[in-house]
Structure formats: C-alpha cells, structure tokens
Chain A
Amino acid sequence: MLYREAGDFKTSYHADNQTFPIKFDRIGFWITMVIAFLVIPFMINDYWANAIFVPFLIYAIAAIGLNILTGYCGQVSLGTGGFMAVGAYACYKLMTAFPDVSIVIHIILAGGITAAVGAAFGLPSLRIKGFYLAVATLAAQFFLVWLFNKVSWFYNYSASGQINAPERFVAGVAVTGPNTDPWAQYMICLVFLTVCALIARNLTRGTIGRSWMAIRDMDIAAEIIGVNPLKAKLTAFAVSSFFIGISGALFFAVYLGAVEVGEAFGIQKSFLVLFMIIIGGLGSIFGCFAGAAFLVLLPVALKVIGVDVLGWPTDLVSHLNLVIVGALIMFFLIKEPHGLAQLWRLAKEKLRLWPFPY
C-alpha cells in the first residue's frame, strides 16, 4: 500500500530517467531535504552540531567516496585516513597561500588534488587484487601520514606541527575559525554532502558506474565484454578519492579547526569509514548515510547512557564502547552481511503489502 512501484506510469524519457523514479522515494527525498535545510539549521545548537550532525555529514561524504571504490568497484581500500589527510593538508595549503579565494573553491580543489594522489596509489590495483590490494593501500595510509608529519612545508613550518584553519567566510558568514556559528558549520557540510550524494548517485547508475560494477563482479569477464579495466579502476580510485578529499578538507577546516595528522587521520579513521560502509551496506548510497549515522550515534548514545545515566567512569565506558562496537559489527555481519541498506530493502518489500498481506 504505502510503497508502490506499480501504477506510477512515466510518459516521457525525462521522467523515466529521473534520479528517484519511484514516487515514494521522491516524496521521502524532498521531505528529508526540507527538514535538513529548513528545520534543523534553526534548531541546532553547539552540542548537537559538534557531537552529531557535523561529524555525521562529513563521514557520510567519506563513506560515499569509499563505497564507490569498495562497494561499486570492488577494490578494498584501507587508505581512507591517508586520503582524508591529503584533502585536509591541500585545503590548508590553499587557504594560507590564496587567502582571497573562496573556501568553497579551495575545498573542491583539495578534492581534485586528492583525486590525483588517489589515482596514483590506485595504479597497483591493476596488478594486485583482493587482500593483497587491501594491504597495499595501507602503504598509502602510512606513507602519507609520515609525509605530513615530517615535511614541514605542509604545515607551514609551525612549531607544533599542527595545522590551524584560519577564519574564512562564505557570503559574509564565518564557516571556519573559532567564531563559527553551529548552523553555518552544519550548512556548509550539508550543501557539500547533498551535491556529493547526487553526483555519486547519478554516476553509479550511468555508464561509468556500470563499468565499475562489471569490474567488481568479475574483472576478467568485464574485460572480455569491452570494459577497460585501466579506465574503470583508475576512475573509481580518482572519484572515490575526490569525495574522501572533500570530507578530509571539511573535517579539518570546518569540524576540528586544528589537526595533528597522526591523531586525526590515523589508521583508525580508515577502519571507521570501512565499518560505516559495511554496516550501512556495500554498493548503496543510502547505506553510506545509514552506516555513518549508526557509527556516529552509537558512541554518543553509549556515553550518554554510561556516563550521564549510570555515572560510570569515562575510561570504563570507552572500553565498553569498544566491546559493544566490536560485538555489533560481528552480529551484523552474521545476521545481515549486506548491511542496513538491505534491511531497508526488506522493509520496503513489507511496506508494499502492508497492511493487507496475502
């Protein structure tokens, strides 16, 4: 009843090709957009922005990037943290070198630089597959973090080795620096996420997305039917790194403001984003959002319950947090290896008949 694919007739090619061909999805999309753009910015405060919304939006961008590479093209990458660091440092260098240029352009350029770095580290994927490739991407992770630690040009020779985001404005409103309003932080991340998600969604259902999926399902067969593996794999690495670079730039400039590379972009970050797409669902844009929301909310929820309600010491709660996250990941993989997105698909199956099943 509620979710209907039938009876929704298309009369033009334009209608047939739209991003959300099903009416229910379209309505859901617009409701979400209205809430995200018109309701939340007026209600948000500092705690909600910093603890939940801004990290959620930024991680969702990173998850979309990694999902394109791992979920759609089948190349497992553990270098996400390193690529986010490239985005952050590229953004920092651009911000300090060209202070008059808008930060929006800087963030996009940072994404472009990351895309180039990602494509370079994607080259071995033409020879190496599976786990060997996953471990090979760790080379990117460790090398990049080391590079940003050791070469002081990247952090403008500052004594602490940190990078600090200077204050920048978009349309007269501060979006980086210490005096940023929570809603401004939220809005810039939301705009980037919306654009990234729409681009990703449309890329994945076009020619290039289909060639990625062909490579994922069986690369030799794909090659035989005329998919160019060099092109498909390298574009996947480049596009994926582009999004990850943007998320890294936002993570540094908008969310944290000051970053020490080993701490903010270590191997833990790579695993965190990988967990997001596994729990959310490989090969699904919706899954990126679900996974990011889940893993951002879980520690906050556990902290609220453990520290604020039960009054336990913080270190104890953080250990319990590890146990619960680990156990949940295993539980999810056993119960639903295809992630939250699959649960949503099943729910839609049910909604189609509800409330009058056979």
Chain B
Amino acid sequence: MSADFLYGIEVIINGLMAGVLYALVALGFVLIFKASGIFNYAQGVMALFAALTLVGIMEGQVPFGHLINAIFGTDVHHFGWEVPALLAIAFTVLIMIGFAWAVQRFVFRHLVGQEPIILFMATIGLAYFLEGVGDLMWGSDIKTLALGLPQGGSLAVEEWTAGLGGDDFYGFFIDKLDMVATLVAAVLVISLVVFAQYTKQGRAMRAVADDHQAALSVGISLNFIWVLVWSLAGIVALVAGVMWGAKSGVQFSLSLIALKALPVLMLGGFTSIPGAIVGGLIIGVGEKLFEYTIGAPYLGGATENWFAYMLALIFLVFRPQGLFGEKIIERV
C-alpha cells in the first residue's frame, strides 16, 4: 500500500476519534432538547464550568477567592489541601446536579410555554452567566487537569502498523488520550441508552420527550424529569470537559466546543441520540479529510472552522430534518 493512502487512513482514524468527542458534546444538547424543547447553547460553557470546578476542587482552591480578596482586602487562595480525583469528581457531579436544579427552579420554570427562540436566548444568557461565575469562582487563568490520563502518541500502535507501508511510512500516529476518550464516550453512550431503555426514570424521560401532556396525564412529574435531564447533560458536560480539558488545558476556549457540536446536531437531527453519534463521526472524518486533501494544500488551511457548517448546510438543503430527525410536518 502506498504511504499516501495509509496517511489518508490515519487521517480517517483521527477524524473518527475527534468525531466521538464532538458526539459527546452533541449528546448533551440532544438530551435536553428532546425532553424539554430547549436548545441549550450553554452546553459548552457547562463543560468548561465542570472542568474548572473539578480542577478547583482537586487543587483545593478557595471558591470566589479573587472576589473575597477584593471586597474584604484579605489574601486567600488555597485551602492547602488536595482532594483525590475520584472524590473531586463526585463533588463536581453533585455541583452539576445542584446547578441543574437551580436552572430549572429559577429560570426555565418561569419560561414554560414561551417560544423556542426565547428559550434559546435564555440559554445564551445562561452561558454568559455561567462563564462569569466560573471565572469568578476559580479564576480565568489556564489550568492543567492532572487526572493521570495518558498523553502523547501511542508507540505500540505506531510500531505495530509501521510494517504496513513502505520505507517512508512510520506507522499510524494515534493519541492515547483520544483512545481513552473514545472508550469513555462509548461507555457513556451505552450507559445512557441502557438508562433510557431499561429504567423507570429513563422510560419517564422518553415519555416526556414524546408528548408532554400525555406524560403529565399519566402522572410523570415534568419538573423532576427536567432536573434529571439537566443533571445528565451536566454529567455529559463534565466528561466532555475532562476529555477536552486534558487535551488542551482548561480555559475559555473549551466553551467553544459547543460551536463544534452544532453542525453535528444539524446533520444528525436535533432529536436523535444515534443521530448525534453518527453525525459526530461524519463531521469528524469529513473535516479532517477535507483539511488533508483540499484545505491545507489549496485553501491555506484552518478550514476546520467552517467546513462542518458548510457540510451540514448543504446536507440540510436536501434533507431539512437531518439524518435521523423526526420528519417535519407542517399544518395550517
């Protein structure tokens, strides 16, 4: 096999792994959208906030230290202890659940029945709010996430595949972290599907997604389900935040992964979990391949910023509800 062809395959594999991460973010969107019709722009900031909180707890930072110092003239930064990773993750999950409850109680309960665009705007407001709170609580400097996740290229894969090509092929370069992320994402998706299919709460969740009023009439508490899906989205955000944060440091740009997930959603359909996964994979592979074959050589690179959107746009012109979305039926 020629080296070019093998490099092409390497690009596809890396694209698939990036796609899994996109799918992970998109999943959070789909969960909330299905259950409450809210298009949650704050998903990316939730990932950032969760990752910041995790780092902050692990390092024993004083929350709002900066603000306290400014108001009282004190000088506090750290408690002086370090929390083990698992305990910190548990605390972070608790905080995300608390956040889900607060969002439901103070914002979206008052907005029930509003137009979707108003709900969408509210989540953008929420994104600003949460970003500000995250910065105030933990500071805005770039943090590293020391969870002990493996980093760098996998030598084993490289040596194992080096024999496939000729002399100028050195094997596939695959990031270990991406492999871990793929694994975690797969586990998460499977457990979410199992939860939705086989538990009582999961069934209630699907009922709400199907029809709010019918679900209400058989005695399902909408409030509880909404808190539940926001909590689940918070946990998905934590996982996404950890994976992306381990990759590039925990900083503001982490919240921009929400923008990466939007074309995935369009492609896969807003209401479909399999759609989010397949869409993520298509976008991941598509944008890496495009960059490799056309973007970098002919267009000056960095086409990843817009290619996914263009792909989704062109696709939607032919199929307006996405790959797996429910068929849009309009009546007068």
Contact = CB atoms under 8 A, between A and B. Distances in A.
Interface in B57-71: 66-67, 70
Given A131-B39, A220-B332, A278-B121, A136 B316 contact: yes
B163 interface: no
B127 interface: yes
B303 interface: yes
Interface in A301-342: 312-313, 315-316, 319-330, 333-334, 337
A284 B280 CA distance: 39
B125 A132 contact: no
Interface of A is mostly: helix
A195 interface: no
A322 B124 CA distance: 11
A76 B122 contact: no
A183 interface: no
Interface string B268-285: 001000000000000000
Given A142-B306, A316-B136, A322 B312 contact: no
A129 B330 CA distance: 11
A45 to B, nearest CB: 31
Contacts of B305: 142, 145-146
A116 interface: no
B67 A322 contact: no
Interface string B108-134: 001100111110111011111111110
Size band of the A side of the interface?
Answer: 35 or more
Given A127-B317, A319-B132, A322-B135, A329 B306 contact: no
Q: Most chain-A Cβ atoms within 10 A of its Cβ — which of B114, B128, B131, B135?
A: B128
Q: Most chain-A Cβ atoms within 10 A of its Cβ — which of B122, B265, B302?
A: B122
Contacts of B120: 131, 134
A20 B270 CA distance: 44
Nearest to B111: A334
Interface string A1-14: 00000000000000
Contact of B312 (A139, A275, A319, A327): A139
Contact of A135 (B70, B132, B312, B332): B312
Contacts of B324: none
Contacts of A136: 266, 309, 312-313, 316
A327 B125 contact: yes
A124 B317 contact: yes
B67 A316 contact: yes
A22 interface: no
A143 interface: yes
A150 B301 CA distance: 8
A248 B265 CA distance: 30
A99 interface: no
Interface string B298-332: 01111101100110110011001010000010101
A220 B330 contact: yes
A330 B136 contact: no
Size band of the B side of the interface?
Answer: 35 or more
Q: Most chain-A Cβ atoms within 10 A of its Cβ — which of B117, B118, B121?
A: B121
B262 interface: yes
B320 A333 contact: no
B107 A330 contact: yes
B326 to A, nearest CB: 13
A277 B293 CA distance: 42
Contacts of A150: 299-302
A138 interface: yes
Contacts of B262: 135, 138
Nearest to A220: B332
B171 interface: no
Contacts of B302: 146, 149-150
Contacts of B118: 278, 333, 337
A221 B124 CA distance: 31
A326 B312 contact: no
A330 B103 CA distance: 11
B259 interface: yes
Contact of A325 (B114, B117, B128, B330): B128
Given A130-B116, A139-B306, A267-B259, A327 B129 contact: yes
13 contacts: A136-B312, A139-B309, A146-B306, A150-B301, A274-B124, A275-B124, A313-B66, A320-B132, A326-B127, A329-B122, A329-B125, A329-B128, A333-B114
Interface of B: 39, 66-67, 70, 107, 110-111, 114-118, 120-122, 124-133, 135-136, 140, 259, 262-263, 265-266, 270, 299-303, 305-306, 309-310, 312-313, 316-317, 320, 322, 328, 330, 332
Given A150-B299, A328-B125, 12 more contacts: A132-B316, A135-B312, A136-B266, A138-B309, A139-B309, A139-B313, A145-B305, A146-B305, A278-B118, A322-B135, A326-B130, A330-B107
